[in-house]
Amino acid sequence: MKPILLLDVDGPLNPFAAEAPPLGYVEHQWRVSRWRRKAGRRAWLNPAHGAALLALAERTDAELAWVSSWEDEANATVGPALGLPALPVVGVRAYEQHPDWKYGAVGRFAAGRPLAWLDDDFGLFPGARQRFLERRGRLATALIPVHPAAGIGPDHLAAVETALQQGKS
C-alpha cells in the first residue's frame, strides 16, 4: 500500500512560536469565515516547502495529507500558498480536547499503510501516543517532532525519506 506523509500546519509549516518569521518564511493572512478567531489567520510559510514536499512524496511514492485543526481550510489557504494541490484531510478538529488527541483519526485514516508524520505536539499525550504505536504494530510509523519555533528543515525531510524508504522493505 502507498505510504502516507501527514502534515500538521501550525508548528511544522507555520513556526508560530518564533518571535519573528525565520529566514525564508513569508507572512500570509487570511480571513477564514468559519475560523474561531474573528481576526482571521496568520501563518509564516516557507514557499520552498511546497516543492520540497512534492518532490519527497514523488521519491517515496507517498500520499501527502493534512492532519491539522486547519482541516479543509489548509487546502484553501496554506496549500495554495505553498504550491500544493488539494490534499486529503484527516478530520481531527472534533478530537482537540479528547484524550486520544489526533491518534484515533490518524489510525483510521492510515490503517494498514506505512506513515511518516510531521507534528509539534507528539509530547502532549504520551499515553495516547504509546497506544497508537502499539496498535500500529510492525507497520512503519515515524512520528517526526518539529519544534514550533523553527518549522521543518532538511533534517526533518531526510528523516521522512528514510522512514518511508525503510517502510517499503
Residue ranges of domains in the chain, CATH in brackets: 4-167 (3.40.50)
3-state secondary structure of 169: coil
Which residue carries 507528539 as its cell? Answer: 122
Nearest to 117 by CA among 99, 140, 83, 134: 140
Tell me how far apart the alpha carbons of residues 36 and 152 are, in angstroms, rounded to a whole number: 26
What pLDDT is attached to residue 37?
53
Q: Average pLDDT for residues 125-132, to the nearest whole number?
A: 93
What mean pLDDT is predicted for residues 84-105? 83
* Contacts (Cβ under 8 Å, ≥6 apart) of 52: 157
User: pLDDT for 139-155, tens place per residue?
Assistant: 999 999 999 999 999 99
Distance, C-alpha 133 to centroid of its chain:
17
Q: Model confidence over 44-53: pLDDT tens digits?
A: 999 999 999 9
CA distance 165 to 22: 30
